[in-house]
């Protein structure tokens, strides 16, 4: 009877796993490599230009580098009958979509008045500098006219307004190409009520009004995560 009791106890302990291993069902799954990576957003401005031979200098700009086109340097000023262009190629070189906006200002200077400008043209009490009033401009974005048309130039003030109104979505790697074309007609005129040069309502002026005048366009391009 005692021997039977011992045998039963050993069997019971074995059943509980005491003093040995017990194989059961099991399974293992993993979740390693949970990773968080920030995207990139970077605007690059490449500048190109065309103009009268020997009368323009292009600084091509780049990533973090100011670019511009200077027409009529110190020794080679512009005269009526000339034209040119500035091309801004703006690219989001990052991976994150952004919205492109612009801030543009125009500074117009008289730079003194010689006898033809002051006496013959009567540039006495006008705004400072008139070059911006009689130089026609066009602006396109990816080939679509924002100012002027295929046949007519428009006003500088409209060009500045158009730049400041830009709000363009730009996916990663996307580009926008803006082209500013300008023309100083051989016979200068005002735009007239339709705000376009080369139309019937243009207003004749004395070309000497723009002697020595200059204008500067400053533009800042901003790409913001969208
Ligand atoms: Ca002047
Ligand atoms: Ca003037
Ligand atoms: Ca007109």
Q: Return d(Cα 100, Cα 226) in angstroms, integer.
A: 9
Q: Which residues contact 141 (CB under 8 A, 6 or more apart)?
A: 166, 168, 176, 177, 178
Closest by CA to 197, choosing from 212, 187, 208, 209, is 187
Using alpha carbons, list the distances in angstroms from residue 6 to 14, 18, 21: 12, 15, 21
Ligand nearest to the CA of 202: 3
Count of CB atoms within 10 A of residue 159's CB? Answer: 24
> How many Å lie between the centroid of ligand 1 and the Cα of residue 161?
25
Q: Return d(Cα 188, Cα 167) in angstroms, integer.
A: 34
Per-domain residue ranges of the chain: 43-225
What is the full per-residue pLDDT of the chain (226 aa) written as tens digits? 454 454 445 445 455 555 556 789 999 999 999 999 999 999 999 999 999 999 999 999 999 999 999 999 877 899 999 999 999 999 999 999 999 999 999 999 999 899 898 887 888 877 778 899 999 999 999 999 999 999 999 999 999 999 999 999 999 999 999 999 999 999 999 999 999 999 999 999 999 999 999 999 999 999 999 9
> How many Å lie between the centroid of ligand 1 and the Cα of residue 212?
4
Neighbours of ion ligand 2 (CB under 5 A): 123, 130, 209, 213
pTM over 0.75: yes
What pLDDT is attached to residue 21?
67
What pLDDT is attached to residue 3?
47
What pLDDT is attached to residue 19?
53
What pLDDT is attached to residue 20?
58
Q: Which two tokens stand for residue 65?
A: 């580098």
């Amino acid at each position: 009877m005692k021997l039977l009791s011992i045998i039963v106890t050993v069997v019971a302990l074995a059943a509980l796993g005491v003093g040995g291993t017990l194989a059961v069902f099991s399974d293992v799954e993993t979740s390693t490599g949970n990773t968080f990576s920030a995207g990139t957003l970077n605007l690059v401005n490449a500048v190109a230009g065309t103009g009268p031979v020997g009368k323009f200098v292009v600084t091509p700009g780049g990533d973090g580098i100011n670019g511009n086109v200077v027409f009529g340097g110190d020794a080679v000023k512009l005269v009526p009958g000339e034209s040119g262009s500035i091309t801004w190629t703006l690219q989001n070189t990052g991976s994150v979509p952004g919205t492109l906006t612009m801030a543009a200002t125009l500074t117009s200077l008289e730079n003194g008045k010689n006898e033809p400008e002051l006496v013959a043209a009567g540039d006495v009490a006008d705004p400072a500098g008139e070059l911006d009033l009689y130089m026609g401009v066009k602006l396109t974005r990816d080939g679509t006219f924002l100012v002027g048309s295929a046949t007519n130039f428009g006003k500088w003030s409209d060009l500045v307004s158009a730049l400041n109104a830009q709000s363009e979505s730009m996916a990663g790697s996307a580009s926008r190409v803006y082209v500013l074309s300008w023309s100083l007609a051989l016979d200068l005129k005002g735009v007239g009520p339709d705000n376009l040069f080369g139309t019937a309502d243009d207003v004749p002026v004395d070309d000497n009004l723009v002697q020595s005048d200059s204008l500067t366009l400053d533009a800042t391009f901003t790409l913001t995560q969208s």
